[in-house]
Structure formats: structure tokens, C-alpha cells
Structure 1
Amino acid sequence: MTWTLSQPMLTAPVASPELPPGSAAEPKWDGYRAQLARYAGAQVLLRSRQGTDMTAAFPEVRSAVLAQLPEDTGLDGELVVWESGRLAFERLQQRLARRRGAGALAAAQTWPAHLVVFDLLRLEGADLTPHPYSERRAALEDLFEQRALAAPFTLCPSTTDPATARAWLEWTAAGLEGLL
């Protein structure tokens, strides 16, 4: 490993979907904030906002990283589990309780996790954190398109349109917590 993930950039919830000029909104998911790093070879790190290594608890995410992401790439997102058409935070907590081995594999089959990706921190060795959000977002969308990223990866919606942001507030029945 020749690089480390930066500290998570924190966002601020907004009280209104009326966005200031130059701002973007994203849905706030009911899950665990997670940063993901694919280092050289088969080295993968999935860590919580507090720095806890969650890699072993989510073997399906680790496998997808190795199959889909280029080396020396870092992502920021929200780890979620869906059940019956809505986000199931309690299932996510249960996944962490079965952190290793057969328990983690069984939990992955029962309650597969998804990483809703909202930021690209590093791409094939290039540190993108100094770049503005608009550039990182464009690079993230290109990564999803060019690599045809599929489950468990999901590209987080982002908008600069207040009407679209207002519409997202209706997703609370599915487990959306608000807007960022």
C-alpha cells in the first residue's frame, strides 16, 4: 500500500431543496458512511467514517472491488442493505455483527450490501480530492460508464435542479433520510 484514504469530507444537511447557485443535492441514505480503497494487487479496504475496517464483514463488496475497480482507486459512499423495497439499517447492523468467515458469507447471501457511491477520491493513482466537486462527479460518472460498474455499486443521484431535489424528499418511505 503506497497511499491512504483521506479523512471523510463531511457534508451539511439542508433544510430546503432550494439550492444556492453552484450547489448540488444528493439523497441522504439510511446506512453506514463507507470509504473504499482498491490498492495494488488484491488489497482492499472498506472502512467506516470512524476508521473501522469493515472489509471482512462485506465479502461481496470486496469481490466486486477486485472484479470491477482499477487499482489505486478510492471511493466514498454509503453502505446500505435493502429489504422489502426499503433500506434496512438493522440488517446492516446485523451484517457487522457477523464480521468474519462463514457468518459474513451467509449474511452476504441473506442481506447483500450495496455501496451507493457519491464521490471519487482517487483514480488509478491520481488524487482527486483537491479538485472541485463538479470535476470529481464527472470523473465518477465516467468511471461508472467506462467500467460498466454494477451491483453492489450504485451511482448516487446528484442534481442541481431544485424540483428534482424536492421530488427526492418523497422517497422517505424507502428509507431516504433527507438531502445533502
Structure 2
Amino acid sequence: MVATGPKADRGHELPPGHAAEAKFDGFRTALIVQEGRVELRSRRGADLGAACREIRQAAHDKLPAGNGLDGELVVWEEGRLAFERLQARGARAAASAREGPAHFAAFDLLHQGEKDLTA
């Protein structure tokens, strides 16, 4: 049996004093912005940048160098997360980005410049 939490769209609310975090159906990813380049790395260190060029470009355009974020790569399709669309990326990255662009949901700012924010 898989545990499920209350969902706002069903009219349920969490009891007072409780909090919940959304579960995204995607790839947990570290996004690292360095001078002149952006890396997207899986938990195991695999390079996800080629499959999500639109995320790399947006991070390059919008984030200052020296930032590292922890988050999740996801693809939305018709109001839901489409994990299968994310999995299908790779050789078809450019076409996939047009059909259903990836998004990066940031959870934590891990470092800013030389400052480690994980401690």
C-alpha cells in the first residue's frame, strides 16, 4: 500500500500544526551556475544538461554565477506532471522542449558564491 497525503483539490486540509511538501514526479537535480556555463547533475552525477537545454539557458540568463541549487526537473502536460515526457528526452531534446518544456522546481539554495549554505 502506498501512503497518500491530503490533497487540496479534494477539499482536504492538513490538521493544525502540520505541514506537507509536494512530491514532484521528475528527476532530482543539482543546478550549478558557474562563470560561462550551467550544469545539471542527477543525484548520481549524470549530466542532464543536454536533455534540458532550455533550463540551462534560462539559468544562464537569469541566475548569477556562483549559485548552486537543489531541485527537481519536471515536465507539465495538460495540467499534470508527465514523467514519461521527461524520460523520453535525450536525442530528441530540442523537439521535446518545443512539445513540452522542462521546468526546474528549486527546493534549496546550496551555495552562493563561495558561501556554503548547507551548514
TM range (shorter): 0.7 to 0.9
Q: Sequence identity, in percent? A: 50
Distance 1:14 1:126, change over 3 A: farther
- Deviation string for 1:28-79 (max 9, x for gaps)? 1111111100012x22110111211101111100100110001110001111
2:26 equivalent in structure 1: 31
Question: Quick one: structure 1 residues 14 and 49, their matched pair in 2 at CA, closer, same or farther if it must change by over 3 Å?
Answer: farther
Structure 1 partner of 2:53: 59
Deviations 1:122-153 (A, max 9, x none): 113311010xxxxxxxxxxxxxxxxxxxxxxx
Matches within 5 A, 1:100-111: 103-111=92-100
TM-score w.r.t. the length of structure 1 is: 0.55
Q: Read off the aligned partner of 1:123 and give its amino acid letter.
A: Q
**46, 49, 57: which is aligned to 2:40?**
46
**What code does the residue aligned with 2:107 have?**
F
User: Quick one: which of 88, 91, 94 aligns to 1:94?
Assistant: 88
RMSD between aligned alpha carbons? 2.2
Q: Tell me the SS of whatever aligns to 1:92.
A: helix
Q: TM-score, structure 2 length as denominator?
A: 0.81
Could you tell me which residue of structure 1 aligns to residue 107 of structure 2?
118
Match of 2:10 in 1: none
Q: Determine which structure has greater relative contact order: mean sequence separation of CA pairs < 8 Å that are 6+ residues apart, divided by chain length.
A: 1
Aligned-partner SS, 1:66: helix
Runs (4+) off by over 6 Å: 13-16
How far, CA to CA, are the matches of 2:81 and 2:4 in structure 1?
Answer: 21
| Cα distance between partner residues in 1 of 2:117 and 2:19 | 18
Identify the match of residue 82 of structure 1 among 69, 76, 87: 76
Q: Which runs of 5+ in 1 are unaligned?
A: 1-12, 131-180
Higher strand share: 2
In the alignment, the residues of structure 2 paired with residue 117 and residue 14 of structure 1 have an alpha-carbon distance, to the nearest angstrom, of: 23
Q: Assess, with a 3 A threshold, how the Cα gap between structure 1 residues 110 and 15 changes in structure 2: closer, same or farther.
A: closer
Task: Give the paired residue count.
Answer: 110
Say which structure is richer in helix.
1
